[in-house]
Structure 1
Amino acid sequence: MTEQRWADVRRRVEALRAFPAADEVFGASGHRWVLEQPLGQAELAELEAQVGVRLPEEFRTFLLRVGAGGAGPAYGVFPVRRVRGRWGWEGDGADMADLSRLAEPFPERGPDPDAVDPLLAERPEEEDFDEVEEFENAFEAWDERWEDVMFAPGRTAGAIVICHLGCAQREWLVVSGSHRGTIWSDHRVDDADLAPRPGPDGRPLAFGDWYLDWLRDAERTARGEERTAPGGSRVPE
């Protein structure tokens, strides 16, 4: 069934560049409807051997049947390429993923950062301080500690950055652990933790649904029926 899902996808994506409103699809100016060539079985096997993990099935089949990255949600799926004999993903923030830790289970969304460090439990508010300088010092200390905790490498072990939404917001694909195969939104730049990208039913989106939902929305937008938001969700006209 996984193979069948991708049977006609490459043709559908490449056909979109000819639609009159194709440029209205968010991120199209970045990927320009171009898909990388698919990987061969030997290339995929080498990639997985180097990173030490079998990639989620829908993503594996996408790489083999559709392309090794390119046109997709937001500014496109980060391409996986071999450079000087080593495989890795390329894109704005792709290097945030530690490829040496992909076999480690992606952590459950815990421990809560407030539980890890009581200093994070309450963000300083200006009205709580008599002097502006005191507030600024307290906020700076809180912000630095927040970044130390939230951007600790272990919080994203077992996942790769899959695309860039703009404004330092990204999405991750979990490749190991109980959330394997799902997409997580990363809004830490806005002081929010990573969270699963929900589908219409509220459950976390798997890679295949994430990509194909985007494609259906992009086709409607390119026909002039509606616009798409940065994450691929529909915006009524």
Structure 2
Amino acid sequence: MTTIWTGVRERVLALRTAPRMSEVFGAVWLDDHGHRFELLPPLTRDELDELEHELGTRLPDEYRAFLREVAAGGAGPDYGIYPLRPGAESNAARAKNLAVPFRPQEVGALFDEHQYNEPSGDCFTSAEEFSAAYRAWDARDDELREELFTGTLYLSSQGCAYYTVLAVTGPEAGTVWDDVQAAGEGVAPKRHNGAERMTFAQWYLDWLAYAERTAWKEPGPAA
């Protein structure tokens, strides 16, 4: 059966021998780091069933097919795809997070309002009052930052504390988003060719096309 993932694993692994593979962002860095276009084995059907049982939800179709046909992690956009396998200690925490739907607009509005209302020392009559108010504000800030990413799985690191996440539960399921807290913001959707949303397959296949163009590019003539 032909799917969107047919031949993708082979294309990625072929890049290990491409003449300019090190020029693809995230493939090689600091000499001995980078995904180097290596892929973990795909999940078996039984492993995927066990994983979804542990997570308490069915994964979005494009992503679950990727896990079955391409890899359970490894080479991918930025610094590569985080591994996802049954039996991982972190799956219990993931399940708890996925039990609440992803609500970027609703929680994002609360987050923006909260950021706007950060306490200022000018509004309090004593340092003690300001300190107590700021501690309460800071605790709520932590709560809202966690709530921003309920219903998601972290897919990859972009570097410099930026991440890509996949919406798993809720109406945005199957789309990819940026964790932009490092820029003082919250979460923002990735866009695709003018569309307001990007799916997991679009995200990964766009990266693969870029990686192939870069890694197989013939060097220009010598100056």
TM-score (norm 1): 0.76
For residues 99 and 136 of structure 2, the distance between their equivalents in structure 1, rounded to whole angstroms, comes to 32
Residue 106 of structure 1 aligns to a residue whose secondary structure is coil
Match of 2:46 among 42, 45, 58: 42
- Structure 1 unaligned spans of 5+: 227-237
For residues 90 and 197 of structure 2, the distance between their equivalents in structure 1, rounded to whole angstroms, comes to 23
User: Could you say which residue in structure 2 is the equivalent of 1:5?
Assistant: 4
Residue 16 of structure 2 aligns to a residue whose secondary structure is helix
What is the CA distance between 1:101 and its match in structure 2?
2.8
User: Quick check: 1:150–1:193 contact (8 Å CA) kept in 2?
Assistant: no
What is the CA distance between 1:34 and its match in structure 2?
0.4
User: Could you say which residue in structure 1 is the equivalent of 2:116?
Assistant: 121
Match of 2:99 among 103, 106, 110: 103
Change (3 A) 1:181 1:8: same
Does 1:216 pair with 2:209?
yes
* Greater mean deviation of Cα atoms: 204-213 or 193-202: 193-202
What is the CA distance between 1:88 and its match in structure 2?
6.0
User: Quick check: 2:24–2:211 contact (8 Å CA) kept in 1?
Assistant: yes
User: Could you say which residue in structure 1 is the equivalent of 2:145?
Assistant: 151
What is the CA distance between 1:223 and its match in structure 2?
2.2
What is the CA distance between 1:156 and its match in structure 2?
1.2
Q: How many residues align?
A: 207
Larger radius of gyration: 2
For residues 145 and 200 of structure 1, the distance between their equivalents in structure 2, rounded to whole angstroms, comes to 39
What is the CA distance between 1:143 and its match in structure 2?
8.6
Does 1:69 pair with 2:66?
no
For residues 200 and 89 of structure 1, the distance between their equivalents in structure 2, rounded to whole angstroms, comes to 35
What is the CA distance between 1:113 and its match in structure 2?
3.2
For residues 88 and 204 of structure 1, the distance between their equivalents in structure 2, rounded to whole angstroms, comes to 31
For residues 100 and 23 of structure 1, the distance between their equivalents in structure 2, rounded to whole angstroms, comes to 38
Amino acid at match of 2:217: G
Alignment of 1:73-222 (within 5 A): 73-82=77-86, 86-87=87-88, 98-111=94-107, 112-113=109-110, 117=114, 120-121=115-116, 144=138, 147-152=141-146, 154-222=147-215
For residues 192 and 112 of structure 2, the distance between their equivalents in structure 1, rounded to whole angstroms, comes to 29
User: Quick check: 1:123–1:142 contact (8 Å CA) kept in 2?
Assistant: no
User: Quick check: 1:80–1:89 contact (8 Å CA) kept in 2?
Assistant: no
Residue 58 of structure 1 aligns to a residue whose secondary structure is helix
Higher share in strand:
1
Identity of aligned residues (%): 39
User: Could you say which residue in structure 2 is the equivalent of 1:231?
Assistant: none
- Structure 2 unaligned spans of 5+: 29-33
What is the CA distance between 1:144 and its match in structure 2?
3.5
Q: Compute the RMSD of aligned alpha carbons.
A: 3.1
What is the CA distance between 1:173 and its match in structure 2?
0.5
